[in-house]
């Protein structure tokens, strides 16, 4: 499914490809503690998939069992982790992101630019916690543009009404007619979006790929 798929994480490397902007970092991003600039590096999708397959083989993988993705383990297996002090780049969803600003400012800037051009916004699996004031400011900044957003659809399995209420407060009355909240899981959301876009999915067991 991911063969030859080029990814642009917005890290400032000018790498053309599908934009995958991870505002809170990713388990395949890492920095070297001995690098003064703390430059973010990452494993490709191919490398990550290969590692997971190798880990499954070594651990006699069993469905339903959680396994930890360890960047040091990966590099150790490939003899590339000598004299390094590697850390995953994972950013907690809080306002206090100053520690990470230098590394992720470009990602956030690209995200704001993409939001400013978006006409359909889909939010999957994010509950908009009260502590994440940063997301509110980013969303407000990114959606102030000449482009009129047609639809904002939030997918989240929470059916209590709490998550929906937080998003309605964020969006305000101006988007009331364009906002939808659907209490669906991630996999269900993907199917719902595909159906709305008339995209056919090739289903094979527990995973699927675009046709």
Q: What is the mean pLDDT of the chain?
A: 77
147 versus 137: the higher-pLDDT residue is 137
Q: Rounded to the nearest 5°, which phi and psi values hold at 14?
A: 55, 35
Q: C-alpha dihedral over 104, 107, 112, 116, to 10 degrees?
A: 170
Prediction pTM value: 0.72
Separation of alpha carbons 158 and 139, rounded Å? 21
Q: Tokens 């520690």 belong to which residue?
A: 99
Q: Rounded to the nearest 5°, which phi and psi values hold at 181?
A: -120, 125
Q: Are 2 and 49 in contact (CB under 8 A)?
A: yes
Which of the given ranges, 77-86, 144-153, 201-210, has the highest pLDDT on average? 144-153
Per-residue pLDDT band at 136 (split at 50, 70, 90): confident
Angle, alpha carbons 200-156-53 (nearest 5°)? 60
Q: Are 182 and 155 in contact (CB under 8 A)?
A: yes
Q: Name which of 105, 115, 98, 99 is nearest 12 in CA terms.
A: 105
Residue 47 has pLDDT above 90, yes or no: no
CB atoms within 10 A of CB 10: 21
Q: Which residues of 39-54 are buried (b: 16+ CB within 10 A; e: fewer)?
A: ebebbebeebeebeee
Which residues on neighbouring strands pair with residue 182, listed in sequence order? 155
């Amino acid at each position: 499914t991911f063969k030859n798929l080029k990814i642009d994480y917005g890290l400032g490397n000018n790498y053309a490809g599908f934009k995958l902007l991870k505002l809170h970092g990713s388990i395949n991003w890492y920095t070297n503690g001995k690098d003064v600039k703390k430059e973010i590096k990452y494993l490709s999708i191919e490398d990550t998939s290969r590692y997971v397959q190798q880990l499954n083989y070594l651990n006699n993988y069993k469905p339903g069992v959680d396994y930890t993705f360890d960047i040091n383990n990966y590099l150790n297996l490939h003899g590339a982790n000598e004299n390094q002090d590697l850390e995953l780049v994972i950013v907690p969803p809080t306002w206090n992101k100053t520690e990470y600003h230098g590394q992720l400012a470009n990602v956030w800037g690209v995200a704001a630019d993409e939001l400013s051009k978006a006409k359909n916004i889909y939010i999957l699996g994010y509950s908009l916690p009260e502590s994440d004031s940063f997301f509110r400011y980013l969303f407000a900044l990114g959606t102030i543009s000449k482009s009129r957003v047609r639809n904002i659809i939030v997918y989240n399995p929470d059916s209590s009404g709490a998550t929906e209420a937080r998003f309605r407060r964020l969006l305000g009355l101006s988007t009331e007619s364009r906002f939808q909240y659907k209490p669906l899981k991630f996999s269900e959301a993907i199917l719902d979006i595909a159906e709305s876009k008339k995209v056919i999915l090739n289903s094979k067991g527990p995973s699927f790929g675009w046709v």
